Amino acid sequence: MASKSNPHNNSALQVHSLSVFYGDKPALWEIDFELKQGKKIGILGPNGSGKSTLMKTIMGLIKPASGYVKILGEPLSNVRSKIAYVPQKESVDWDFPITVKEVVQMGRYKPNKLFGRLSKLDKELATKALEQLKISDLADRHIAQLSGGQQQRVFLARAICQEADIYFMDEPFTGVDAATEETIIGIIDELAAEGKTIIMVHHDLNSAQEYFDHIVMLNTRLICCGSTAEVYNQENIKSAFGSQLTILSEIGNKINELNYPVREAGESDS
Amino acid sequence: MRDFIEFISLSNPTVKIVLIGVVLISLSSSLVGNFAFLRKRAMLGDAISHSVFPGVCLSFIVSGEKDPLMILIYSIVTGLIAMFLIDVIGRHKKVKVETAIGIVLSIFFGLGIMLISYIQGNLGDAQSGLQHFFFGQAAAMSREDVQVFLYCSIIIAGTIILFYKGLKQVSFDREHAIATGQPVVLLEIVLSILTVMAIAIGINAVGVILMAALLITPASTARLWTNRLFPMMVIAAILSVVSAIGGAFISYKYSGMPTGPWVVVLLSIMAFGSILFSPKRGALSRVIARKRLERKILKENILKTLFKLQEADKEQTSGFSLQEINCLKAFDGRALERGLKWLQQEKSTQIKNNKWTLTASGNQIGKRITRVHRLWELYLTNKVKLDIDHVHPSAESLEHIITPEIERMLQEELNFPDKDPHNKLIP
């Protein structure tokens, strides 16, 4: 496993000594791994193992208690335009007054163009993304009229038209129909063929072997990180899904309760 | 009518000031109200409006007079402090946001009442007018007041137009906005300032207690009429302007009628009206939709019954009497006759010598309903593994809502069967 050394040239994501204490849920404990570009990577772990917490921390939505993250060898704020994020579809109110097309076009909203209108190119890319996800016919629908699978396609289309280098997806297969799952897999393969990196939180062990060429297993602490052939074995699966380390989550709760520093003062990690 | 024309022509200078003031206030609060409503911050507006009150009192204590600009500045400051406190308290693990709103609202309003008592006790009569901020007093608006309202309205409308895209994104999916690097904190601060500003001018007309209505009611009413943000904002603006003009007119026409509360009453009437009459979401259209469905079910049941009668009795071509139809399926007597009349008008059934028969088109529908009914029964027995005596009631009701697409899926799933579980032919 890569230690805190120089960033590699083709590094997609480096996570260094990342610890998160987050409400009453299990925390992340000293997570440390590195992922290369151009791979399809699955982050696996049982419910409450901190998969989504890890992803939200990487996206800068949760502040870690210690440790840091580098994307493409740089801090997140420098590379925002090169990453796309597909949140869990439960994270928004699907009754919001907005159409499918408008949501997808939000993928083209750029911070440096806060006031400007969308360009012709922006609109074309959004239209193309709608076609890729096979939801062009739903473009003018209100989002409340969509099925779960269609909602997920909308979120994916929004990410696709960002034209990013790295795609972070939080459980895109949850609550979708078989046809949507197939479409999403097709898109992911296409992106990977273009050399893009896909990092996905996934909960289904059975399909993981087939979908990913690289796997990170997580259960509050890091279980393993490596190519699917290397790490997808009974031993790792058992330690990821078998039992949770209750002492870790106990001490995590304690730290959170006391607002206690994980590391003693003066010991920096970046 | 003549009164209204005289009123709206702004020939009376006092009326002019009040009318313009109330319209500007309503418009501003309805604009920011859209975002408060969509971000589920409806109660926050109530807390802020109570929290700007101590600011009003403070400005009077410091400057010794009722200067609209000073009042505005002080109320924005206390309003923002309150908003900040709600945010800080609400972030605490054990306290929910609504608790934080409750705490801050009462602290600040209490503070305001303390200050106004102090003013009344120590600064003499000059304070007359401060109580207007409890319930609002549109009639007391001065030209200077309205000037301040105008500037605020321009700032509010201009900023919302300028930041429209960003505000929309933050309101819909805050996390995605952060992840794509939008300046979410900046946008939220801008929105907070605009909200406090709209409230600070709004309490002049309706007072701190009714302010939340001016903020939230137009947006929530407009939401019933459209599924898109921009039209929603336009409708909310129209509703607020109409109720502002209406409120001002009622107060002009009838003595002793306050403007602000009437604006709120008119807004509420429009809100209730929308709940009843709006398309799709309204209560009335739901009643109509149900009636329509009931009618469709009755007609389809009659056609199906006639089809089954014909199916059972191939030689009988002269048709069937009401009694014969009722024998196979018991209809409410009047309903059967009524349904047959409708079907006759639609040329699905015909009558000869008091005997009813199906026309070709009626036969088609009757046949389809029977087919769908039997397919569904077969599906329930074969695939869902229900007992054969449990499948009829479900099929009886679902036959009316199974679409041609589902019908096709059933046929494929069951491999285009020809017999139902009761061994009847699937037509």
- For residue range A146-164, list pLDDT tens digits in order: 988 999 999 999 999 999 9
Minimal Cβ distance to B175: which of A80, A87, A109: A87
Taking a C-beta distance cutoff of 8 angstroms, is the pair A110, A81 a contact? yes
Q: Measured between alpha carbons, how far is B427 from B412 in angstroms, rounded to an integer?
A: 16
Contact A114 B228 (CB under 8 A): no
Confidence of residue A187 (pLDDT cuts 50, 70, 90): very high
Q: Using one digit for the tens of pLDDT, what is the confidence trace for A23-79?
A: 656 688 889 999 999 999 999 998 888 899 999 999 999 988 889 999 999 999 999
- Output the pLDDT for position A71: 95
Residues with Cβ within 8 Å of residue B399, at least 6 apart in sequence? B300, B304, B369, B372, B373, B376
Q: Are strands A25-36 and A11-22 parallel, antiparallel or unpaired?
A: antiparallel
B342-351 burial code (b ≥16 CB/10 A, e <16): ebeeeebbee
Interchain contact A77–B (C-beta under 8 A): yes
Taking a C-beta distance cutoff of 8 angstroms, is the pair B205, B21 a contact? yes
- Output the pLDDT for position A263: 67
Phi-psi region of B320 (alpha: psi -120 to 50; beta: other; left: phi over 0): beta
Contact A114 B163 (CB under 8 A): yes
Per-residue H/E/C for chain B:
CHHHHHHHCCCCHHHHHHHHHHHHHHHHHHHHHHHHHHCCCHHHHHHHHHHCHHHHHHHHHHHCCCCHHHHHHHHHHHHHHHHHHHHHHHHCCCCCHHHHHHHHHHHHHHHHHHHHHHHHHHCHHHHCCCCHHHHCCHHHCCHHHHHHHHHHHHHHHHHHHHCHHHHHHHHHCHHHHHHCCCCHHHHHHHHHHHHHHHHHHHHHHHHHHHHHHHHHHHHHHHHCCCCCHHHHHHHHHHHHHHHHHHHHHHHHHCCCCCHHHHHHHHHHHHHHHHHHHCCCCCHHHHHHHHHHHHHHHHHHHHHHHHHHHHHHCCCCCCCECHHHHHHHCCCCHHHHHHHHHHHHHCCCEEEECCEEEECHHHHHHHHHHHHHHHHHHHHHHHCCCCCHHHCHHHHHHHCCCCCHHHHHHHHHHCCCCCECCCCCECC
Q: Measured between alpha carbons, how far is B263 from B251 in angstroms, rounded to an integer?
A: 10
Confidence of residue A247 (pLDDT cuts 50, 70, 90): low
Q: pLDDT exceeding 90 applies to what percent of chain A?
A: 58
- Region B60-88 average pLDDT: 90
- Hey, do B12-213 and B288-413 end up sharing a CATH topology, with the first three levels equal? no
pLDDT score of A270 more than 70: no
pLDDT score of A201 more than 50: yes
Q: Which residues, numbered 206 to 235 in chain B, qualify as contacts with chain A under a Cβ-Cβ cut-off of 8 Å?
A: 223, 226-229, 232
Confidence of residue A3 (pLDDT cuts 50, 70, 90): very low
Least confident of A123-132, B256-265, B306-315: B306-315
Q: Which residues of B touch A92 (CB under 8 A)?
A: 172-173
Between CA B7 and CA B15, with CA B11 as vertex, the angle to 5 degrees is: 55
A99 - beta bridge partners? Answer: A142
Distance from the A125 Cα atom to the nearest Cα atom in chain B, whole angstroms: 17
Contact A106 B172 (CB under 8 A): yes
Q: Which residues, numbered 212 to 251 in chain A, qualify as contacts with chain B under a Cβ-Cβ cut-off of 8 Å?
A: none
pLDDT score of B157 more than 50: yes
Confidence of residue B126 (pLDDT cuts 50, 70, 90): low
Of chain A, the end-to-end C-alpha distance in Å amounts to 18
pLDDT score of B109 more than 90: yes
Please report, for chain B, the start and end positions of each structural domain, with discontinuous segments joined by +.
12-213, 288-413
Nearest chain A Cα to B37, which residue?
A96
Minimal Cβ distance to A114: which of B93, B166, B176: B166
Contact B173 A106 (CB under 8 A): yes
Q: Which residues of A touch B168 (CB under 8 A)?
A: 98, 102, 106
Confidence of residue A6 (pLDDT cuts 50, 70, 90): very low
- Output the pLDDT for position B316: 62
Q: Using one digit for the tens of pLDDT, what is the confidence trace for B184-217?
A: 999 999 999 999 999 999 988 888 888 999 999 9
Q: Measured between alpha carbons, how far is B264 from A246 in angstroms, rounded to an integer?
A: 56
Mean pLDDT of chain B: 88
Q: Which residue has the tokens 């805050």?
A: B174
Q: Which residues, numbered 68 to 97 in chain B, qualify as contacts with chain A under a Cβ-Cβ cut-off of 8 Å?
A: 93
Contact A80 B176 (CB under 8 A): no
Contact B175 A61 (CB under 8 A): yes
CATH number listed for the domain at residues B12-213: 1.10.3470.10
Q: Measured between alpha carbons, how far is A220 from A240 in angstroms, rounded to an integer?
A: 9
Least confident of A68-82, A229-243, B114-128, B282-296: B114-128
Q: Which residue has the tokens 């401060």?
A: B130
Q: Are strands A166-170 and A197-202 parallel, antiparallel or unpaired?
A: parallel
Nearest chain A Cα to B169, which residue?
A106
Q: Using one digit for the tens of pLDDT, what is the confidence trace for B320-350?
A: 888 888 888 888 778 888 888 899 898 888 8
Taking a C-beta distance cutoff of 8 angstroms, is the pair A241, A46 a contact? yes
Q: Measured between alpha carbons, how far is B35 from B350 in angstroms, rounded to an integer?
A: 58
Distance from the A237 Cα atom to the nearest Cα atom in chain B, whole angstroms: 31
Nearest chain A Cα to B173, which residue?
A92
Pick the CATH number of B288-413 from 1.20.120.330, 3.90.1640.10, 3.60.20.40, 1.10.10.10: 1.10.10.10
Least confident of A172-186, A237-251, B35-49, B408-422: A237-251
Q: Measured between alpha carbons, how far is B215 from B79 in angstroms, rounded to an integer?
A: 15
Nearest chain A Cα to B183, which residue?
A111
Mutate to test the interface with A, among B95, B162, B172, B191 (most CBs of A within 10 A): B172
Sheet containing strand A66-71, edge to edge, reads A25-36, A11-22, A66-71
- Output the pLDDT for position A246: 61
Contact A97 B171 (CB under 8 A): no
Confidence of residue B221 (pLDDT cuts 50, 70, 90): very high
Q: Which residues of A touch B183 (CB under 8 A)?
A: 111, 114
How many CA atoms, within 13 angstroms, populate the side-chain half-sphere of residue A142? 13
Residue among B259, B222, B260 at smallest CA distance from B238: B222
Distance from the A106 Cα atom to the nearest Cα atom in chain B, whole angstroms: 7
Cβ atoms within 10 A of the Cβ of A193, count? 9
Which of A15 and A46 is assigned the larger pLDDT? Answer: A15
- Region A200-218 average pLDDT: 91
- Region B56-75 average pLDDT: 88
- Region B105-125 average pLDDT: 86
Q: Using one digit for the tens of pLDDT, what is the confidence trace for A75-124?
A: 999 999 999 999 999 999 999 999 999 999 999 998 877 777 889 999 99
ipTM: 0.85
Q: List, as one string, the DSSP characters of chain A.
A: ---S-PPPTTEEEEEEEEEEEETTEEEEEEEEEEEETT-EEEEE--TTSSHHHHHHHHTTSS--SEEEEEETTB-HHHHGGGEEEE--GGGS-TTSS-BHHHHHHGGG--GGGSSSPPPHHHHHHHHHHHHHTT-GGGTTSBGGG--HHHHHHHHHHHHHTT--SEEEEE-TTTT--HHHHHHHHHHHHHHHHTT-EEEEEE--HHHHHHH-SEEEEEESEEEEEEEHHHH-SHHHHHHHHS---HHHHHHHHHHHHHT--SS-TT----
Q: pLDDT exceeding 70 applies to what percent of chain B?
A: 97
Confidence of residue B127 (pLDDT cuts 50, 70, 90): low
Cα-Cα-Cα-Cα torsion A216, A222, A225, A230, nearest 10 degrees, comes to: -100
Q: What CATH class is the domain A11-258?
A: alpha beta
In Å, how far are A102, A151, A237, B355, B410 from B200, measured between CA atoms?
A: 33, 40, 59, 76, 62
Contact A56 B181 (CB under 8 A): no
Confidence of residue A175 (pLDDT cuts 50, 70, 90): confident
Contact A158 B181 (CB under 8 A): no
